[in-house]
Structure 1
């Protein structure tokens, strides 16, 4: 990249993709772009300069295109690619996949809640790119700042018990777990559970992905209810193949149209969540995270003037009772659950949630509710 001809050629390729209609440009593993002897190379200042240059180029010639940086590293380093609002439009939210998985495996949302509460405000015009699954594995490095060694070990052992593999990274102190290679549905649900319980658990976790402020990214195998592809790992000898199943269109179509199949149930659940999200959340509208209960991930989305939505997600397989008093301003009423089920809330804002239940509760001021 120190050679200007290489940079010009790279820009030429990016502009060609934009000319074909690309609206998002993903800079894969961008942290390692610049190489210089005597340095670790990662996060080099010249790498940040290149990202700034590409952002300026897009703003000048294709302002509708969004630049996304992919850096599977610790959170502080990851967030550095926002710069001061002059680098990436979006940054992958890498701590989310392992922390979300941890919450559902331990049936405890405290770490996930604490992490979300501490998220910094992003520069104006910037957003987080929220995701749970991808064509790669579930990165462990971003979890080191948030999970204890015991919690991380429990996470790894559960993933292995559910058919996953662990990839390791060489460091000066020896090998460390780097990535968990497993399909996200298979990771977050116990294969011994009844099918409907597995679907409810998985969709509950994905509702958190959709509710968080930012842009959600949904991996297609998550969208269509895939599970571990062990055959792919045996064929290729490559751990990441476990979540890269090659599908037959005819077989997929048959499964999706078969009422009661795993894929059909997952897709129908996604449709319900996405329909509700489209009418409720605007990226960049802000969020407030609440620690209402150890087994519930709760956040308030939107501005008070625009009928905000209180999003509640039970991360456990037990019935939970909680109070919403600290999350619902006294001048507000709960008008409806955007996901359709009845609102079981007392005048004192006490509520109960069934196992893995999701509630997106629309709030309106007393004055607006009377209009």
Structure 2
């Protein structure tokens, strides 16, 4: 009797496995993968090119323990705060790694299957997922040198003995691209003698060996656990470095893209509403490749936005931001950009390559240092140390200008950045400290010895609530950003996939046009990105004569199509022909 015909899922999975693991029996390993993942081979494929988001979606990025109170698990505290204060603004909560870890504030994972006891339990994550979509980190490139897997590696027993990428000290690593200055190979004493393991980031973060199919099976089991606990959005951390081939740059290799396609195939068949986001802090052209053909990441981080937007607002010229945006391709249906200006990491500088000159980059770096920032470096393949990221809170980064230093426009400049982030094509993601206008935490840097700690402040809830309920800049920022998000949620022209065209309005006015997918709402977003008043004529915008036009921010109506409009420093308009309801 002939065997049953292969399902579409099996056929597609076999195709990926044959590329990644040509030495395996692809059919047998496919069955093992599906069994490990608990997936019926006959599961129907989700409809392609679906937008699993709309203009009501905004993400919050936070550590599980950023908000702390006595006698309560931080995950519980966070859930209460987001549900009480942000339910009308936030749809998705990105929980940065909440697992037991040994360093790097969670990104040196010791155990992928448990929640760090000091922040809560799995039930807290599941409860949060009943009120919000939850994104979890899949720290897939490396794990902690203090993990059970690495202890087993040293002892020569499984699971772990074959889980890590090894190389000889004589291996050609001259072309390897890395984000750090530490030596790539770490010497380790094992039961079988001295071995050298690959450490892209730090010697406490040992790279996993995905050439071993058992490592893939381990991660399929981990992903299944996360899905069972309510996580539907997956951030693939540092995934660009996943596959290694000595003699190459060991970044963005074809097998890395193939692995992402395999993981997406499995995840979206298990949960059709699941979303894959790749974290690839690399030059813009390389970053765009992680969309694949709408079959890899659903979303990619818009890594060039933070440095270009900050540079725009401190220099008073939008030329680079405008030129970059004009060259950005519209995302295909079913994919979009994740627009952020601040995160738990620093402001990445590799995404400015080819966009800012060395002189302009030096000018930006020196300005951020004047505002209290730090600079982290990486080693190039030639051995040269180059700036990799600026470590600074967004509030302090926007405290002044290149030419004049700190000034009175800090709040206006900060809100201008939020206004641009919220209006651009894509889905906005706010780091929790951007909602509060948190300042540089130099004390935390001193305590940890890590520059990134400058933007990883821990808030005591009593202190935070006091500041949010009294006349402070924290209260002002928090209320203003929530108001903007609620306005955005009602505008179909702000759908992440709505049409966008950049306008030519000079270097002091940054402007673009958005149009809803059904073409019913047109919206012009116009920003004065300088510290001087700027005037423009409404006739420049070619407003549809038969429509009424309102500024969604002030609710002012504009009837005179020839009117001259003056925007004060960092003021902006969201000029629309139809007013969606604030939500």
Q: TM-score range by the shorter chain?
A: over 0.9
Residue ranges of structure 2 left out of the alignment (5+ in a row): 1-209, 579-583
Residue deviations 1:338-369 (CA, integer Å, cap 9, x gap): 112535674325322111112101125xxxxx
From 489, 496, 505, the equivalent of 1:283 is 496
More helix by share: 1
Aligned residue in 1 for 2:58: none
Task: Evaluate the alpha carbon distance shift between residue 70 and residue 332 of structure 1 in structure 2; reply closer, same or farther with a 3 A threshold.
Answer: farther
From 422, 429, 433, the equivalent of 1:210 is 422
Residue deviations 1:263-312 (CA, integer Å, cap 9, x gap): 00000110111111001121211211112131121111123732211111
SS of the residue 1:298 aligns to: strand
- Structure 2: how far apart are the matches of 1:359 and 1:79? 30
For residues 280-359 of structure 1, what are the structure 2 equivalents within 5 Å?
280=491, 281-303=494-516, 305-331=519-545, 333-340=547-554, 342-343=556-557, 346-359=560-573
Aligned residue in 2 for 1:368: none
From 261, 269, 272, the equivalent of 2:483 is 272
- TM-score (norm: length of structure 1): 0.93
- Structure 2: how far apart are the matches of 1:349 and 1:9? 64
For residues 151-166 of structure 1, what are the structure 2 equivalents within 5 Å?
151-166=360-375
Aligned residue in 2 for 1:181: 391
Task: Evaluate the alpha carbon distance shift between residue 58 and residue 362 of structure 1 in structure 2; reply closer, same or farther with a 3 A threshold.
Answer: same
1:31/1:71 contact within 8 Å kept: yes
Residue deviations 1:101-127 (CA, integer Å, cap 9, x gap): 010010111111111111012233110
Over aligned residues, Cα RMSD in angstroms?
A: 1.7
Task: Evaluate the alpha carbon distance shift between residue 152 and residue 5 of structure 1 in structure 2; reply closer, same or farther with a 3 A threshold.
Answer: same
From 461, 465, 482, the equivalent of 1:249 is 461
Residue deviations 1:100-153 (CA, integer Å, cap 9, x gap): 001001011111111111101223311011100000000011112111122111
Aligned residue in 2 for 1:360: 574
1:272/1:339 contact within 8 Å kept: no
- Structure 2: how far apart are the matches of 1:129 and 1:347? 34
Aligned residue in 2 for 1:369: none
Task: Evaluate the alpha carbon distance shift between residue 213 and residue 146 of structure 1 in structure 2; reply closer, same or farther with a 3 A threshold.
Answer: same
- Structure 2: how far apart are the matches of 1:183 and 1:332? 45
1:100 is aligned to 2:100: no
Task: Evaluate the alpha carbon distance shift between residue 347 and residue 39 of structure 1 in structure 2; reply closer, same or farther with a 3 A threshold.
Answer: closer
2:394/2:437 contact within 8 Å kept: no
- Structure 1: how far apart are the matches of 2:231 and 2:283? 29
Point out the structure with max Rg over C-alpha.
Answer: 2
Residue deviations 1:174-233 (CA, integer Å, cap 9, x gap): 111110000011011238434xx3111101111101100111110000011101001111
- Structure 1: how far apart are the matches of 2:212 and 2:540? 57
2:508/2:534 contact within 8 Å kept: yes
- Structure 1: how far apart are the matches of 2:386 and 2:345? 18
1:137/1:179 contact within 8 Å kept: yes
Task: Evaluate the alpha carbon distance shift between residue 156 and residue 345 of structure 1 in structure 2; reply closer, same or farther with a 3 A threshold.
Answer: farther
Task: Evaluate the alpha carbon distance shift between residue 232 and residue 66 of structure 1 in structure 2; reply closer, same or farther with a 3 A threshold.
Answer: same
- Structure 1: how far apart are the matches of 2:439 and 2:390? 15
What is the total number of aligned residue pairs between the two structures? 361
2:543/2:561 contact within 8 Å kept: no
From 43, 54, 72, the equivalent of 2:281 is 72
- Structure 2: how far apart are the matches of 1:118 and 1:11? 37
Residue deviations 1:39-72 (CA, integer Å, cap 9, x gap): 2211111100010011111231111011000001
Shift of 1:38: 2.6
1:224/1:267 contact within 8 Å kept: yes
SS of the residue 1:168 aligns to: strand
Shift of 1:332: 5.3
- Structure 2: how far apart are the matches of 1:100 and 1:173? 30
Larger deviation: 343-352 or 141-150? 343-352
Task: Evaluate the alpha carbon distance shift between residue 343 and residue 112 of structure 1 in structure 2; reply closer, same or farther with a 3 A threshold.
Answer: farther
- Structure 1: how far apart are the matches of 2:539 and 2:280? 39
- Structure 2: how far apart are the matches of 1:240 and 1:106? 24
- Structure 1: how far apart are the matches of 2:458 and 2:444? 8
Residue deviations 1:217-254 (CA, integer Å, cap 9, x gap): 10000011101001111111110000001111110010
1:115 is aligned to 2:353: no
- Structure 2: how far apart are the matches of 1:335 and 1:314? 19
Shift of 1:328: 2.8
- Structure 2: how far apart are the matches of 1:334 and 1:143? 40
- Structure 2: how far apart are the matches of 1:332 and 1:21? 48
